Amino acid sequence: MRAIKEKTVLFLLAFSAAILLLTFAAIILFIGVRGLSTINFRVITASIRKGGIFESIIGTLYLLAGTIAIATPLGLATAIYLAEYAPKGKINRIIVQALNNLAGVPSIIFGLFGYAFFCRFLGLGISLLSGWLTLTCMTLPIIVRGSQEALKMVPKDFRIAAEALGAPKWKIIKDIVLPTATPGLATSIILGISRVAGETAAILFTCSVFLTKDLPTSPLQPVMVLTYHLYTLLIACPGASTDYAFAIALILLGLVILLNLLAYLIRMHYRKRWKW
Amino acid sequence: MRSKRLKLLCFKDKVEILLSILASISIVILFLIIIFVLKEGFPAFIRLGFSSFLLGRRWAPYYEDFGAFPLLYGSILIVFGSLAISVPLGVSTAIFLAEYSPKWLSDMIKPVIELLASIPSIIYGFFGLTFLAPKIMEFLNISMGKVALTASMVLSIMTLPTIVSISSEVIASVPKEYRKASLALGATKWQTVKSVVLPAAKPGIIASLLLAFGRAVGETVAVLMVCGCVPQIPSPPWNYLEPVHALTAAIALDMGEVSWGSLHYHVLFGLGVILLAITFIVNMIADFFIKKAPRGVQI
């Protein structure tokens, strides 16, 4: 009797894990199969005026590059400060609390805030720059948290050894701690990029438009983005062919999977190489 | 006097000052978000009246009827529906991963869960719109696939990773001695899990559910695509087979069309204030439970 009960429980638990895996497989297969049949070289490289999505792809890359350029130094500085300079104490607690709260703010609120503050109050308008700044606010918690973990993983002995040699604090961080933590830092930045790549709600009214004449030439111009393009295709043009939609969804999915795979591989590679 | 100042200068080296300024930007951002959303949303509460805005039964922006209740109700309905699916599924998956599954299997499933967490919400919405909605329409024989049930199902897939990853970590962090003591008394594995491990992990599991709730309430694009966007309270109120509207969906849909500074504009920020309040409260309660979780758990 007991054994049967144990078996039943195990079966039910394994079953729920299987459902999760099946759901995942269903999403990947559904978008993968239909996406692959619609995507081709022409769609990717042709301008929107010729029925392609070239501008959206480049626009997404612009958006990613700028956000990372702003968010990375900010995030790393915060993480280094939290992990190395103020590991305990009131300031640390307040900053961590603020980051936790930021991480819990829904992305649509970031969109509202970005519109009210960057676009209107600072007068940046619907522009690439507004998008960068809005998305920076969003990715900051991800980058800081990941980087902080990475910095914490650096063994204490390394620091103590460097201190014993008389190295000043900043030198220890620059020459010992940061190089050791690089894989972890890279992982957290990649995960930050992956969040930005798929973000829609926060860019709806801060930086994206459905149609521009050309690629933006300055950060103060609006930009076409893949997620926004997909959103408009599905929401604003009911009855429009879903072929493009599948192609865009596949590109987005592929991008996110690729970035996650990269982060995973970096982590695995270094875990194997350095054991302490 | 001089040596004291010198000491102070050495103590606070320039790098530290620079880093502390950069680090406090996160605090500034948080404050700016709260201030600007409140500032823009406040006029809505003043001009419409707090209770008639929050409890008004009719949401019809083009007739200047701004009752947020149908939106609020729709959001809550969808979120509770999603938790009804994702909580049993998520918690049992977490138990399986932490207690039963062999290591190679957990090592395989965990990256998949991480990946599920980072799939963009628009992809989930797209999946719901083109795959789930037609299936539900066909299966339940209803005239429209974009109903509260569809939104709940999509949201449940989206909240599963949160529940599974946090819960399994919390369960795994319950000290080994607890399990050994229970097994030594002759309890079976499931008895041990049920009466020793789960009670110890309960605060952490509750925290994961609350975080999932917060994430689900704030989800925008996926909900917008599958909920039907009809601002009504279904009849009967628990009818999941009717379309509804949600707070986030209303903001995203209308924001593109409002003119800056109009009442409608302020009302949308007012919805943002409501949303922000809900997520802050839920996250605060989650925080409280996280602090009670077994030692060493980082969320």
Query: Residue A46: pLDDT band by 50, 70, 90 thresholds?
Result: confident
Interface with chain A: mutation pick from B154, B191, B221, B251, highest number of A CBs within 10 Å: B221
Sort residue A222 into left (φ over 0), alpha (ψ -120 to 50) or beta. Answer: beta
DSSP, collapsed to helix, strand or coil, labels residue B101 as coil
What SS3 state is found at B60?
strand
Q: Do B164 and A20 touch (CB under 8 A)?
A: yes
| Phi and psi at residue A223, to the nearest 5° | -140, 155
CB pair distance less than 8 Å for A231 and B221: yes
A276 and A158 Cβ atoms separated by less than 8 Å: no
Domains, chain A, in order of start with CATH, read: 56-273 (1.10.3720.10)
Q: Which of A9, A30, A201 sits opposite B190 (nearest CB)?
A: A9
The answer to whether residues A115 and A152 touch, using CB atoms and an 8 Å cutoff, is no
Number of alpha carbons in the 13 Å side-chain half-sphere of residue A217: 2
Chain A residues whose CB is inside 8 A of the B92 CB are 12-13, 16-17
- Candidates A16, A108, A200; nearest CB to B218: A108
In chain A, what residues touch B275 (CB-CB under 8 Å)? Answer: 106, 108-109
* CA nearest to A2 within chain B: B188
- ipTM of this predicted structure: 0.91
Q: Answer whether B222 touches A (CB < 8 Å).
A: no
Lowest mean pLDDT among A259-268, B10-19, B35-44, B212-221: B10-19
| pLDDT surpassing 70 at residue B251 | yes
Percent of residues, chain B, with pLDDT higher than 70: 94
Q: Is the bond leading into B236 cis (omega within 30 degrees of zero)?
A: yes
Distance in angstroms (rounded) separating the CA atoms of residues B59 and B96:
45
What structural domains and CATH numbers belong to chain B? 30-292 (1.10.3720.10)
Query: What is the sign, positive or negative, of the torsion defined by CA atoms of B257, A134, A110, A27?
Result: positive
Query: A108-122: per-residue pLDDT in tens?
Result: 999 999 999 999 999
Contact A106 B96 (CB under 8 A): no
Inter-chain touch B22–A77, beta carbons under 8 Å:
yes
Q: Which of B52-61, B194-203, B214-223, B261-270 has the lowest mean pLDDT?
A: B52-61
Rounded Cα gap, residues B172 and B224, in angstroms? 36
For the segment B6-10, the average pLDDT, to the nearest whole number, is: 52
Q: Which residue of B has its CA nearest to A174?
A: B15
Structure tokens at A129: 């720059």
Long-range contacts of A261-266 (CB under 8 A, 24+ apart): A262/A190, A263/A186, A263/A187, A263/A190, A263/A191, A263/A194, A264/B111, A264/B114, A266/A183, A266/A186, A266/A187, A266/A190
- Spatial separation of the C-alpha atoms in residues B249 and B243, rounded to whole Å: 13
pLDDT value at position B237? 85
State residue A53's pLDDT score: 84
B124-134 pLDDT tens trace: 999 999 999 99
Say yes or no for a CB contact (<8 Å) between A106 and B220: yes
Determine the pLDDT at residue A64. 93
Nearest residue of B to residue A107, measured between CA atoms: B218
Task: Compute φ and ψ for B146, nearest 5 degrees.
Answer: -85, 85
Contact A194 B118 (CB under 8 A): yes
Distance CA B286, CA B217 (A): 14
* Cβ distance of A102 and B26 shorter than 8 Å: yes
Instruction: Say if the Cβ atoms of A200 and B287 lie within 8 Å.
Output: no
Please answer yes or no on whether A235 and B224 come within 8 Å at the CB atom: yes
Percent of chain B with pLDDT over 90: 57
Q: What token pair was written down for A56?
A: 């959206």
Q: Is B190's Cβ below 8 Å from some Cβ in A?
A: yes
Helix (H) or strand (E) holding A70: helix A54-80
**What is d(CA A162, CA A146) in angstroms, rounded to the nearest whole number?**
24
Helices (H), chain B: 2-11, 14-23, 25-48, 50-55, 69-95, 103-118, 121-127, 133-140, 148-172, 176-184, 189-192, 198-218, 221-226, 247-255, 263-292
In which residue are the tokens 């993480």 written?
A79
Here the contacts of B254-260 (C-beta below 8 Å, separation 24 or greater) are B254/B61, B255/A111, B255/A112, B255/A115, B255/A204, B255/A205, B256/A204, B256/A205, B260/A120
B8 pLDDT above the threshold of 70: no
CA distance B228 to B249: 10
pLDDT (0 to 100) of residue B1 = 47
Among A53-57, A94-98, A154-158, A238-242, whose mean pLDDT is lowest? A238-242
pLDDT, tens digit, 9 for 90 and up, residues A130-174: 999 999 999 999 999 999 989 988 888 888 898 899 888 888 888
Residues 149-188 of B with CB under 8 A from A: 157, 160, 164, 188
Interface of B with A in 59-88 (CB under 8 A): 88
**Is residue A73 over pLDDT 80?**
yes
Min distance B7 CA to chain A CA atoms (Å): 15
Could you report the per-residue pLDDT of A245-276, keeping only the tens digit for each? 898 999 999 999 999 999 988 888 877 666 55
C-alpha distance across the termini of chain A, in Å? 47
Q: How far is residue A71's CA from residue A137's CA, in Å, rounded to a whole number?
A: 8
Confidence (pLDDT) at B3: 55
The pLDDT assigned to A210 comes to 80
CA distance A60 to A254: 14
pLDDT of residue B6: 53
For the cut 80, the answer to whether the pLDDT of residue A48 exceeds it is no
pLDDT at site B12: 56
pLDDT: is A209 or B42 the higher one? Answer: B42
Report chain A residues whose CB lies below 8 A from the CB of B260: 120
Residue A46 Cα, gap to closest chain B Cα (Å): 23
Model confidence at B296: pLDDT above 70: no
pLDDT reading at B191 higher than 50: yes
